[in-house]
Amino acid sequence: MMDYKQIFNAAPDVQASAPGRVNLLGEHTDYNDGFVLPTAIPQQTTVHIGYSPNDRHHFYSANLEEWVDVNPEETELKGFAKYVYGCIRVVETIGYSVPPVNIFVSSSVPIGSGLSSSAALEVATLRGLRSLLGLPFDDVKLAQLGQQAEIQYAGVSCGILDQMACSLADTEHMLFLDTRTLKRQILPFPTGAEIVVIDSGVARSLASSGYNQRRSECEAAAQQLGVRALRDVSDPQAVSQLPNLLRKRARHVITENNRVLQVLSGVSAEVFGQLMNASHASLRDDYEVSIPALDELVDIFQNMPDVFGARLTGAGFGGACVALVTAGKAKAVSKQVLTKYNQAGHKGHILVD
C-alpha cells in the first residue's frame, strides 16, 4: 500500500486515527433524542495531513487508490472526498481558516457494513485538523462537527450516535449516551461476555430513503403524541391511539430506549442477551428495517451454544449482526455461525471476533 510520502513527495505534519463502532443496543433511537450503547471496534481509519504546496487541497485514499484535487470554491464532491472536505468546510463555518492541505487516508474499517466507516473518517480527519492547526474544540464538539459534515456534505440526516461513538468510545467498554443531553457513562461489558460481529454480505440498500422515511414517521408519531421527541414517552401503552404504522414505529423506539436504560441498572450477560434478541425482534417487526438475510444470521446465532443474544446492528436494510457470546468463545462461535450461514448460500464474513 502507498504511503503519504510516496503520494505527496514530502513528510506529513500530523497523523490521527479513529475507530469504527458497533452499536450493542439502542438502534434508531438517536434521532428521537433517545439512548444508545455503542462500543469501538479494533479497526481504525488513519489520516496523515500536511500543508499543500499550492492553493488546492489534495486528498488520497489508499484503499480506493483514488486521488482528488479540490479547488477552494468547490461545493460538491463524491465518494470519500465529500467526508474529508465536509470536515474542512464545517471547521471553516465555525470561524477557523483552514489552509490548503494534503490528506492521505487509509482504513481497516469495512465500508458499507454499518460499522461507521464514514464517522471514523470524519473523526480522524477532524482530529488531524485539530492537531495540525491547534484548534480548541473538545471531543464532544468534534463529534458534533463530524455529524454536521455528514448531514451537510454527505446528505444523510443521521443522529449523533456514530460520531460520538467514534470520538469517545474505546474497545474495552460500552459507552452509554443520552443523545439529548449528551450525558454519558462508560460501562464495563457484561461479566463473562465478549462480542462477535458478522457481515451478512448483503450491502445496505434503500438505507438512506428508508432511514429518512423512518425518521419522519417518528417525528409524526411524536407530534401526534404531543411530545417534543419519542424519548419523552416511556410507557409503550401510550401509543395505542396512534394509527397502525406510527404505533409500530413509536413502540420500537420506546421499548428500545427502555432496553438501554435497563442495562444502566447493571444486568447479567444472560439478560443483556435477551435484550438484544428483543431489540432484533422489534427492529424486524415494528421498525421493519431488517431483511431476510439478517434474520437468518441472527437466528443461527441465537440457536448456537455460548451465545447470549444477537441482533442486527446499524441502520439495517443489510449490513452486519452483533452477538454477545461467552468470553473466550468468540472465535469458535463466529466460525461455526459463519459456516452455517454461508452453507445456506450467503457470502458473509467475520468483522470482529
Under the rule (CB under 6 A), what is the footprint of ligand GLA? 23, 27-28, 30-31, 158-159, 161-162, 314-315
Least distance CB 263 / ligand GLA (angstroms): 16
Tell me whether residue 28 or residue 259 sits nearer to ligand GLA (CB atom).
28
Q: Which of 162, 199, 286, 353 is catalytic?
A: 162
Identify the residue whose cell numbers are 435477551: 274
Range 278-282 contact pairs with CB under 8 angstroms and sequence separation of 24 or more: 279/25, 279/27, 279/311, 280/310, 280/311, 280/312, 282/251, 282/252, 282/255, 282/256
Tell me whether residue 150 or residue 296 sits nearer to ligand GLA (CB atom).
150
Least distance CB 207 / ligand GLA (angstroms): 8
User: In this structure, which amino acid lies at residue 168?
Assistant: L
Joined grid coordinates for residue 3: 504511503
Among 41, 69, 34, smallest CA distance to 313 is for 41
Q: Is the separation of the CB atoms in 34 and 160 below 8 Å? A: no
Q: Is the separation of the CB atoms in 296 and 186 below 8 Å? A: no
Tell me whether residue 119 or residue 193 sits nearer to ligand GLA (CB atom).
119
Q: Backbone phi, then psi, for 287, in 5-degree steps?
A: -90, -20
Q: Backbone phi, then psi, for 112, in 5-degree steps?
A: 80, 15
Least distance CB 165 / ligand GLA (angstroms): 9
C-alpha span between 207 and 267 (Å, rounded): 32
Tell me whether residue 28 or residue 340 sits nearer to ligand GLA (CB atom).
28
Burial classification of residue 57, based on how many CB atoms lie within 10 Å of its CB (0-12 exposed, 13-18 middle, 19 or more buried)? buried
Tell me whether residue 57 or residue 248 sits nearer to ligand GLA (CB atom).
248
162 is catalytic: yes
Least distance CB 46 / ligand GLA (angstroms): 21
Least distance CB 26 / ligand GLA (angstroms): 7
Burial classification of residue 12, based on how many CB atoms lie within 10 Å of its CB (0-12 exposed, 13-18 middle, 19 or more buried)? buried
Residue nearest ligand GLA (C-beta atom): 158
Q: What residues act catalytically?
A: 162
